[in-house]
C-alpha cells in the first residue's frame, strides 16, 4: 500500500537487468523530501515494521542542503530532533533497534531525549573510533595542548531494551605469544572434528573415543622451530602463525576436578600418546597434554587452540573499523559526511536478518542503503538535499549493477542485482 502523500517518479527508479533473488525492485525505496513529512507519510504502511533504523543527523545545525547551515543552538536542535525520533520509534518493530550516531556536541542532550522516548534502561552507548591522531588537526593540538577528536558515539535504543544482537567477533590486535606450541601429525579436518565433538552437548562414548584417537597422535614442537622447518621463504612469521593457528596451541591450568580425572587416566596411557581427553561431571570435555607434571598442584596441562582465541567480542568500544582512506567507497566523495561501510555492516548485521527493513532518514551519500542492499535487506532512504541526485542515486545504481566493488562488497561477495523505486513527497505536504 502506497500513501498518496508519496508520488513515484519512474524516471529515477532503477533495477538490474538480472534481479538478485534477494531483492525485489518494488521493495527498496528512495524518497526525496523533508524527512519529517516523509516519516509521517510512512506511518500507514510501516508502523512497527522496521527492524533497524540508523541515522547520522546533523550535529547542531539545521537539516538543509540548499541553504547555508544555521546553528540551531541546544534548544532548537532538540526541537528539530524530537518529532523525528518520535516518528522513528513508531515505525520501529517491538524487537527493532534504533542507532543514532552523534559527536560530543549533542551527545548528552540526545541521550536524555532518547531516555525520555525509550526509557533509560532501554539504551546502550557504543563509542566508535572515527579518526587517527594525525593530520592537520594535530597541529592545533600540539600548539595549544588540547585533545584531538578521535571518537563519536552511537546511542542504541529499543522499545524493550537492546538485546538479541549478533555481533561478529573481531581480530585481536596482535598474536598472543602464549600460543607457542605447534601440533603435528594431525590434519585440519581432524582438528575440526575434534572441536565439533567438544562442542557437542549430547556427545556419545564413541565420540569421546574418536576424540581420544585424534589427540593421541598429537606431536608437539616449539612454534619457532616448526616455522623454520616448514615455512616457505616468502611467508613471514606473522602470516605463517595465522595460517596455522588451527594447529598452534597453548597450555593452561584447569580445575581440580579435571586434574583428578586426568591423573587417573594418565596412569594407563601409552607412552607415545601426545594428548587425551577428560570429561567432567558437567559433561565438559577438556584436551589434556599428556606430559604434564602430575606432582604440581596446578600444572599447565589443558590445551587451547589459537584460532579459537584470536578474535574477541567488540563490546561497546569499536576501535577496529578502518576510518581512513575511505574516499573511494561507493564511488562518491562526501567530505566529512560519509561513514565507513564496515560500520554500517556491523550495525545492520547485528540487528537484522536478510529481508528485514532498514531505514535511514538522513540518507546523505547513501551508505546505509548501499550496505543494506549488499546484505540482502530491504531498505528505505530519505533525503532532501541535492546530494540525493548527485551522490546517493548514482551510488545505488553502481551497487545494483555490481560495478561497486568497494566497501563491504568483497566481504559479502556482492555481484549486483535488485533495484529500487524513487518517490517524491507531495510538495503540498512538506513542512518543518
Question: What's the pLDDT tens digit per position in 122-163?
Answer: 999 999 999 888 877 788 888 888 898 899 999 999 999 999
Give domain status of residue 298, yes or no. yes
Q: Are residues 120 and 235 in the same domain?
A: no
Question: Which pLDDT score, from 0 to 100, does residue 432 have?
Answer: 46
pLDDT digits (tens, 9 = 90+) for 224-277: 999 999 877 767 888 899 889 999 999 999 999 999 999 999 988 998 999 999
CA dihedral 100, 102, 108, 109 (to 10 degrees): -70
Q: Are residues 13 and 162 in the same domain?
A: yes
Question: Which pLDDT score, from 0 to 100, does residue 171 have?
Answer: 81
Q: Are residues 28 and 120 in the same domain?
A: yes
pLDDT digits (tens, 9 = 90+) for 155-169: 999 999 999 999 988
Give domain status of residue 175, yes or no. no
Q: Are residues 278 and 380 in the same domain?
A: no
Q: Are residues 53 and 165 in the same domain?
A: yes
Radius of gyration of the chain from Cα atoms?
A: 27
Q: Are residues 157 and 19 in the same domain?
A: yes
Question: Which pLDDT score, from 0 to 100, does residue 66 have?
Answer: 44
Q: Are residues 137 and 14 in the same domain?
A: yes
User: Which of 312, 330, 359 is the last residue in one of the domains?
Assistant: 312
Give domain status of residue 176, yes or no. no
3-class DSSP assignment, residue 92: strand
Give domain status of residue 322, yes or no. yes
User: Which of 295, 312, 329 is the last residue in one of the domains?
Assistant: 312
Q: Are residues 25 and 146 in the same domain?
A: yes
3-class DSSP assignment, residue 58: coil
Question: Which pLDDT score, from 0 to 100, does residue 22 have?
Answer: 56
Give domain status of residue 357, yes or no. yes
Per-residue pLDDT, averaged over 176-187, amounts to 96
Per-residue pLDDT, averaged over 70-92, amounts to 90
> What is the band of 71 on the pLDDT scale with cuts at 50, 70, 90?
low
Q: Are residues 302 and 416 in the same domain?
A: no
Q: Are residues 280 and 345 in the same domain?
A: no
| Residue 312 · residue 172 · CB < 8 Å | yes
Question: Which pLDDT score, from 0 to 100, does residue 68 have?
Answer: 47
Per-residue pLDDT, averaged over 349-357, amounts to 97
Q: Are residues 221 and 359 in the same domain?
A: no
Distance (Å, rounded) from C-alpha 104 to C-alpha 109?
Answer: 10
User: Which of 312, 331, 351 is the last residue in one of the domains?
Assistant: 312
Q: Are residues 341 and 392 in the same domain?
A: yes
Give domain status of residue 85, yes or no. yes
Q: What is the total count of domains within the chain?
A: 2
Question: Which pLDDT score, from 0 to 100, does residue 129 have?
Answer: 94
Question: Which pLDDT score, from 0 to 100, does residue 236 have?
Answer: 84
Whether residue 18 is predicted with pLDDT greater than 50 in this model: the reply is yes
Distance (Å, rounded) from C-alpha 227 to C-alpha 296?
Answer: 31
Whether residue 310 is predicted with pLDDT greater than 70 in this model: the reply is yes
- CATH number of the structural domain spanning residue 95: 3.40.50.150
The mean-pLDDT minimum among 10-19, 81-90, 352-361, 368-377 falls in 10-19
Whether residue 418 is predicted with pLDDT greater than 90 in this model: the reply is yes
- Distances 179 to 186, 212, 246, 331, 350 between C-alpha atoms, Å: 17, 22, 11, 42, 30
Strands 317-318 and 357-360: unpaired
Residue-number span of the structural domain to which 133 is assigned? 6-169+314-429
Share of the chain above pLDDT 90, in %: 74
Whether residue 8 is predicted with pLDDT greater than 50 in this model: the reply is yes
Amino acid at each position: 500500500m502506497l500513501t498518496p502523500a508519496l508520488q513515484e517518479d519512474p524516471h529515477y527508479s532503477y533495477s538490474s537487468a538480472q534481479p538478485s533473488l534477494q531483492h525485489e525492485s518494488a521493495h527498496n525505496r528512495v524518497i526525496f523530501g523533508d524527512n519529517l513529512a516523509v516519516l509521517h507519510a510512512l506511518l500507514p504502511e510501516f508502523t512497527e515494521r522496521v527492524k533497524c533504523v540508523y541515522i547520522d543527523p546533523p550535529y547542531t545545525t539545521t537539516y538543509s542542503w540548499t541553504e547555508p547551515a544555521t546553528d540551531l543552538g541546544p534548544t532548537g536542535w532538540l526541537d528539530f530532533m524530537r518529532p523525528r525520533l518520535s516518528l522513528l520509534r513508531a515505525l520501529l518493530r517491538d524487537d527493532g533497534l534504533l542507532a543514532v550516531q552523534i559527536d560530543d556536541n549533542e551527545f548528552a542532550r540526545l541521550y536524555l531525549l532518547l531516555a525520555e522516548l525509550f526509557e533509560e534502561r532501554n539504551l546502550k552507548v557504543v563509542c566508535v573510533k572515527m579518526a587517527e591522531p594525525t593530520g592537520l588537526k594535530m597541529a592545533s593540538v600540539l600548539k595549544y595542548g588540547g585533545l584531538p577528536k578521535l571518537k563519536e558515539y552511537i546511542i542504541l535504543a529499543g522499545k524493550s531494551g537492546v538485546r538479541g544482537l549478533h555481533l561478529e567477533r573481531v581480530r585481536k590486535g596482535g598474536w598472543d605469544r602464549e600460543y607457542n606450541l605447534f601440533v603435528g601429525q594431525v590434519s585440519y579436518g581432524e582438528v575440526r572434528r575434534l572441536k565439533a565433538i567438544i562442542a557437542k552437548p549430547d556427545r556419545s562414548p564413541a565420540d569421546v573415543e574418536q576424540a581420544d584417537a585424534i589427540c593421541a597422535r598429537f606431536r608437539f614442537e616449539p612454534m619457532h622451530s616448526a616455522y623454520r622447518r616448514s615455512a616457505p621463504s616468502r611467508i613471514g612469521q606473522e602470516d605463517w602463525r595465522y595460517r596455522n593457528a588451527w594447529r598452534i596451541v597453548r597450555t593452561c591450568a584447569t580445575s581440580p576436578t579435571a586434574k583428578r580425572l586426568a591423573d587417573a587416566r594418565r596412569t594407563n596411557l601409552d607412552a607415545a600418546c601426545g594428548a587425551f581427553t577428560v570429561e567432567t561431571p558437567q559433561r565438559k570435555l577438556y584436551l589434556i597434554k599428556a606430559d604434564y607434571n602430575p606432582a604440581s598442584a596446578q600444572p599447565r596441562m589443558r590445551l587451547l587452540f589459537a584460532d579459537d582465541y584470536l578474535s574477541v567480542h567488540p563490546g561497546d568500544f569499536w576501535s577496529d573499523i578502518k576510518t581512513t582512506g575511505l574516499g573511494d567507497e561507493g564511488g562518491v566523495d562526501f567530505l566529512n559526511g560519509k561513514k565507513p561501510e564496515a560500520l554500517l555492516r556491523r550495525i545492520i548485521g547485528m540487528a537484522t536478518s536478510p529481508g528485514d527493513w532498514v531505514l535511514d532518514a538522513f540518507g546523505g551519500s547513501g551508505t546505509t542503503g548501499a550496505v543494506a542492499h549488499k546484505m540482502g535487506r530491504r531498505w528505505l532512504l530519505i533525503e532532501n538535499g541535492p546530494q540525493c541526485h548527485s551522490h546517493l542515486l548514482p551510488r545505488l545504481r553502481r551497487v545494483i549493477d555490481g560495478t561497486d566493488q568497494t566497501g563491504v562488497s568483497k566481504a559479502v561477495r556482492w555481484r549486483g542485482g535488485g533495484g529500487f523505486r524513487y518517490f517524491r513527497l507531495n510538495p503540498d505536504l512538506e513542512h518543518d
